[in-house]
Amino acid sequence: MHHFHYRNGRLHCEDVSLDAIADEVGTPVYVYSSATLRRHARVIGEAFDGMSCLIAYSVKANGNLGVLKTLAAEGCGADVVSGGELKRARAAGIPPSRIVFSGVGKTREEMRLGLEEGIHQFNVESAAEVEVLSDVASLLGKTAKIAVRVNPDVAAGGHPNISTGKAGDKFGVPWEAADALYARIAELDGVEAVGVDVHIGSQIDAIAPMRAAFERVVTLVRRLREAGHAITRLDLGGGLGIPYKPGDDLPPPSEYANMIRQVTEGLGVEVILEPGRVIAGNAGVLIAEALFTKPAPKRTFLIVDAGMNDLMRPALYQAHHDILPLEERPDSTEQINYDVVGPICESTDKFATERPLPVIRPGERLAFMSAGAYGAVLSSQYNARPLVAEVLVDGDKYAIVRRRPTFDEMIALETTPDWLT
Ligand SMILES: *Cc1c(COP(=O)(O)O)cnc(C)c1O
């Protein structure tokens, strides 16, 4: 469900014409729908109604402050994976009591930041990290509440680059090592084990692998309690997939929630969830302008002004984004197959191969759909292209929530060594 639709023949976000935004802000530009963000946060919240549950939105999916503030107003907490994301979450007004800190490679500085902020929980991913966190917390005279992220050795399905819960993945503590690590935590100062954490991947399109992983983790919770550890929280990560094209069949949040209700029945834990994509993914589009078409043997290239530096998912994981012209065409319009590519000097700078689209004129604008998660956050200035702009829509209003930097700003961090002056 999202709030991008044609009205009077032009694609709109809520009540705002995307042309109006592109006219003012230029392209490429990301546009986010507040109504969609709110709706997704509410649907997930309502699915867990009556359960003790913290929805910690995964900031890495889309960390724009406008997005975070919109979700904070819905009561979302935050799952952060760096000191920078922690600062973003705090800047958006998310209270520390609703922030969890994940990630395999936290620095001492990042641990100190989390401890000083008094965050809800650290999700730790190795025995070595536990030792360092204990040291940092002890020096500060604080105690870190921790959950160990365990690797349940379950295949999540989906693209191998976004699977995180198999034994060969770098994430989590090996299943066989978990009990010993909890025993070690009990001996250490500055750390207190309060939970177990698991996150098996992203864009997961079936409930069964999640159920298998969560059932495994529940057996660990019971075993740890028998060993005397006061486990009161269960962090089940994120990962629920979204439809990227018509016909994609994804389990609804209610089915996911009912499975979690069943699996945690009678366990008496606070459930923590870290949804990212399912909240932000279909709440954003990337608008680009068609520059040229170029016939080539056996194909026609459509060259647009957005590149892989602006939207990296197709290059990074062969991801599919639907492409809609801002100008609506009748269903009967003849289509031709385009290879849709950007201006970057890399062969991987390709958004779609043999994609059927109506004839696109130079100067026409297109929307890359479902680009709200892992879009702008992965953007770069490669080829000295300014970082892509971002706009947030709310009803009939919109605001530029990240402007495009000027060229002077882009080079301002660089200095010329004195031997070159
Ligand atoms: C990426 C990530 C998430 C969010 O994943 P989605 O698929 O966007 O829901 C949650 N938790 C952790 C630890 C992650 O790395």
State mean pLDDT over 74-80. 98
Task: Show the tokens assigned to 79.
Answer: 């799952």
Residue 113 CA to ligand 1 center (angstroms) comes to: 21
- Nearest residue to 177 via CA among 137, 124, 215: 124
Residue 91 CA to ligand 1 center (angstroms) comes to: 21
State mean pLDDT over 301-308. 98
pLDDT band (50, 70, 90) for residue 159:
low
Q: Has residue 163 got a pLDDT over 80?
A: no
Query: What order do you get walking across the sheet with 10-13 strand by strand?
Result: 4-7, 10-13, 16-17
Atom of ligand 1 nearest to the CA of 237: 11
Task: Show the tokens assigned to 177.
Answer: 């090592």
> What are the two backbone dihedrals, phi and then psi, of residue 67, each rounded to the nearest 5 degrees?
-65, -45
pLDDT band (50, 70, 90) for residue 27:
very high
Residues 6+ apart with CB under 8 A from 332: none
DSSP string, 228-254: T----EEE----B----STT-----HH
pLDDT band (50, 70, 90) for residue 170:
confident
Residue 18: CA atoms inside 13 Å, Cβ hemisphere, count?
Answer: 35
pLDDT band (50, 70, 90) for residue 169:
confident
Cβ(61) to ligand 1 under 6 A?
A: yes
Atom of ligand 1 nearest to the CA of 276: 8
How many whole angstroms separate alpha carbon 203 and alpha carbon 244?
10
Q: Ligand 1 pocket: which of 79, 196, 217 to mutate (most atoms <8 Å of CB)?
A: 79
Q: Is residue 317 part of an annotated ligand binding site?
A: yes
**Residue range 353-400, pLDDT digits in tens:** 999 999 999 999 999 999 999 999 999 999 999 999 999 999 999 999
Cβ(276) to ligand 1 under 6 A?
A: yes
How many whole angstroms separate alpha carbon 131 and alpha carbon 185?
8
How many whole angstroms separate alpha carbon 134 and alpha carbon 325?
54
State mean pLDDT over 63-85. 98
Where does 277-318 show beta strands of DSSP type E? 284-296, 299-304
Atom of ligand 1 nearest to the CA of 241: 7
Find the range with the poorest average confidence among 89-103, 157-171, 208-222: 157-171
Q: Identify the pLDDT of residue 171.
A: 83
Task: Show the tokens assigned to 189.
Answer: 């100062």
Residue type, 113: L
Q: Has residue 161 got a pLDDT over 60?
A: no
Supply the residue whose CA is at minimum distance from atom 3 of ligand 1: 238
Residue 237 CA to ligand 1 center (angstroms) comes to: 6
Task: Show the tokens assigned to 383.
Answer: 């080829």
Q: Has residue 32 got a pLDDT over 60?
A: yes
Are 18 and 285 spatial neighbours (Cβ–Cβ below 8 Å)?
A: yes
How many whole angstroms separate alpha carbon 168 and alpha carbon 330?
49
Q: Has residue 189 got a pLDDT over 80?
A: yes
Q: Is residue 289 part of an annotated ligand binding site?
A: no
pLDDT band (50, 70, 90) for residue 162:
low
> What angle separates helix 65-73 from helix 83-91, to the nearest 10 degrees?
60
Cβ(281) to ligand 1 under 6 A?
A: no
Task: Show the tokens assigned to 104.
Answer: 């395999």
Radius of gyration of the chain (CA): 23
Check residue 363 and give left, alpha or beta (phi > 0: left; psi -120 to 50: alpha): left
Q: Identify the pLDDT of residue 393.
A: 98
Q: Is residue 275 part of an annotated ligand binding site?
A: yes
> What angle separates helix 108-117 from helix 127-140, to the nearest 10 degrees?
50
**Residue range 285-294, pLDDT digits in tens:** 999 999 999 9
**Residue range 227-275, pLDDT digits in tens:** 999 999 999 999 999 999 999 999 999 999 999 999 999 999 999 999 9
* pTM of the model as a whole: 0.96
**Before 275, cis peptide (omega within 30)?**
no
Domain boundaries, given as residue ranges, for the chain: 4-31+281-412, 103-273
> What are the two backbone dihedrals, phi and then psi, of residue 53, each rounded to the nearest 5 degrees?
-150, 130
- Nearest residue to 365 via CA among 9, 16, 27: 27
Q: Reduced to 3 states, what is the DSSP secondary structure of residue 219?
A: helix
The beta-carbon contacts of 168-173 under 8 Å, at least 24 apart in sequence, are 170/104, 171/104, 171/125, 171/199, 172/125, 172/198, 172/199, 173/124, 173/125, 173/126, 173/127, 173/148, 173/149
Q: Identify the pLDDT of residue 158.
A: 59
User: Both ends of the chain: CA-CA distance in Å?
Assistant: 56
**Residue range 117-135, pLDDT digits in tens:** 999 999 999 999 999 999 9
Q: Has residue 157 got a pLDDT over 70?
A: no
Cβ(149) to ligand 1 under 6 A?
A: no
How many whole angstroms separate alpha carbon 208 and alpha carbon 187?
37
Q: Is residue 327 part of an annotated ligand binding site?
A: no
Q: Has residue 421 got a pLDDT over 80?
A: yes
| Residue showing tokens 């650290």 | 122
Q: Identify the pLDDT of residue 46.
A: 96
DSSP 77: E
Q: Has residue 164 got a pLDDT over 80?
A: no
Q: Is residue 253 part of an annotated ligand binding site?
A: no
pLDDT band (50, 70, 90) for residue 153:
confident
Tell whether the torsion through CA atoms of 303, 306, 309 and 310 is positive or negative.
negative
Atom of ligand 1 nearest to the CA of 60: 1
Q: What is the mean pLDDT of the chain?
A: 96
Cβ(277) to ligand 1 under 6 A?
A: yes
Question: Quick one: fold of 4-31+281-412?
Answer: Lyase, Ornithine Decarboxylase; Chain A, domain 1 (2.40.37)
Task: Show the tokens assigned to 142.
Answer: 């604080």
CATH class of the structural domain 103-273: alpha beta
Residue 74 CA to ligand 1 center (angstroms) comes to: 19
